[in-house]
Structure 1
């Protein structure tokens, strides 16, 4: 699976490391991917190249990952890809000399520790940032800044973790200046964000879930009226009662819906939804991108602003994605203005320059 490049650097140098192998053609790449969510896992599969031996290290104890990994058929892995449920343990980076490291969550404390311990005085190989939902935009903005730690929005870190997060951020910024930092994404990328990242020396490559679309994961019927759940209420960012009322309005308008819960939604909230016999709750195990990839043309998916809405628009352009902007009165005040503005600014339309 060959990535489409925003620049030509990757085409000239498959290892993404100009200078280290200027004239030497590598037979194969050896790579490792650290993933902590189903979307990060799928992004790693889309990033994999034919001449690459990829080890995916999935953090099985992350929320929703065990059920996803249990439901994922190993036969769906591309050739030369293997899976281990060990996460970003430092040992794997000390024992092997990888040509490339894929990061699903560049703000993960486990990832920071692994990179810091293994590469404190060693030269980092090429690093590829994978999609981690809409939070990916925050990661890229941090890396385009001149300084600052890699921290998730709203995250509060101890002093020692802040130092480590700042160290990893500086190392990645240093990689960008030598052409060894890349972002592989299916998300729309604004002109300003693209320009800022490329200005650092980083590269952007694109995918459209080409591997995912080959998988026999089934689909859904347009009469299902699929609705994508959100974790915003469960995380305390929006009012749960207002969100519940929005779902009720959809049911009143369409007669029945199939609700696909987010992996962080609470059992109590879903039990309340299930009391309405017009709401069919579908626990998919696999990511919604896998379940709705084959939704028939003319179907409509309804959602609040979400990564899944963006992904499904990329996967199936013949399906309508109806995204409801989050009203100002829904917000609880637990999130910064920047996050609220960023979420409501998201679009499911592809970036014409990407």
Structure 2
């Protein structure tokens, strides 16, 4: 009689988290992906994603993180996309208040993942996003979950599965806790029939920094104007950009806006080697560099005068410090 098959569940709230769960899935693992369909941009993504693209033994449900599923069918492993999600905190707190928590794997959640890893590396502190202010009850729950996850590290039951660059300092500090780091290069994503050869249409990756109030919109618009002045561009909006901003942008005949339900990583696979993708510091730039190693990823560092002052210096420095090549192979 063979050993029982590994059962896992993934809680994801963004397209990148979803794709990261597919990359983390192991061939002999039964994985249930619980996607939060009402999160920004997720409904259009899930509608566009063909379930035939799922690996074998992977199922998808649009239910999000609910404690009931963890109580009814306790998994051997939990994949977490947004470790700062209130819904995830509630599910984990209620299901594992007095029970032993299984192995937990942190998935990439954009550049915000670095903040999550720094929090888990610290000896104390709640899992909270930069600039986020929590109510007292939420803060207690966020601190409880952070402590429970930290407690998994010495037993080798906390892992970060990533395609992001990992600095030597961050890698050393995280591994010192007893946690693990595993890497991927979007192997499954590259097998999907969504990319292929694309015309050289000067792609530009849209940023949410202006929409989130971190940089001035007029500065961002000026940057796009300068790019368009060099020739027509194809603009791939970020899922959090507003309809009003995109409608105004569409009035510029030099800018072609390409709305895609699927994330840009799925649309810009296998570009011609002489292509150039332009972007501000972003996770998409890092992902596309992994997917298209022969393509030029031109990342513009954000000038100091662009910032609105609503983000801490650490976040601004962290964003501008990002590169599109991993500096450590874990």
Q: TM-score band, normalised by the shorter chain?
A: over 0.9
CA distance in 2, matches of 1:66, 1:347: 30
**Cα deviation 1:147-176 (Å, max 9, x = unaligned):** 000000010000110000000000000000
Task: Give the aligned partner of residue 266 of structure 2.
Answer: 290
Task: Give the aligned partner of residue 226 of structure 2.
Answer: 249
Which of 262, 272, 278 pairs up with 1:302? Answer: 278
Task: Give the aligned partner of residue 177 of structure 1.
Answer: 154
Would you say 1:33 and 2:7 are equivalent positions?
Answer: no
Task: Give the aligned partner of residue 101 of structure 2.
Answer: 124
Whether the 8 Å CA contact 1:222–1:299 is kept in 2: the answer is no
CA distance in 1, matches of 2:195, 2:85: 32
> Aligned runs of 1:82-161 on 2, under 5 Å?
82-161=59-138
**Cα deviation 1:239-296 (Å, max 9, x = unaligned):** 000100100100101x100000000001111111111111110011100000001211
Q: How big is the shift at 1:222?
A: 4.8
Task: Give the aligned partner of residue 71 of structure 1.
Answer: 48
CA distance in 2, matches of 1:62, 1:352: 32
Task: Give the aligned partner of residue 162 of structure 1.
Answer: 139
* RMSD, aligned α-carbons: 1.1
> Aligned runs of 1:4-15 on 2, under 5 Å?
none
Whether the 8 Å CA contact 1:29–1:99 is kept in 2: the answer is yes
TM-score (norm 2): 0.98
Structure 1 unmatched runs, 5+: 1-23
> Aligned runs of 1:272-283 on 2, under 5 Å?
272-283=248-259
Whether the 8 Å CA contact 2:167–2:328 is kept in 1: the answer is no
CA distance in 1, matches of 2:195, 2:71: 40
Would you say 1:234 and 2:211 are equivalent positions?
Answer: yes
Would you say 1:55 and 2:32 are equivalent positions?
Answer: yes
CA distance in 1, matches of 2:74, 2:284: 34
Q: How big is the shift at 1:26?
A: 3.6
The residue matched to 1:83 in structure 2 has which SS?
Answer: strand
Q: How big is the shift at 1:177?
A: 1.0
CA distance in 1, matches of 2:282, 2:300: 10
Structure 2 unmatched runs, 5+: none
Q: How big is the shift at 1:351?
A: 2.0
Would you say 1:264 and 2:231 are equivalent positions?
Answer: no
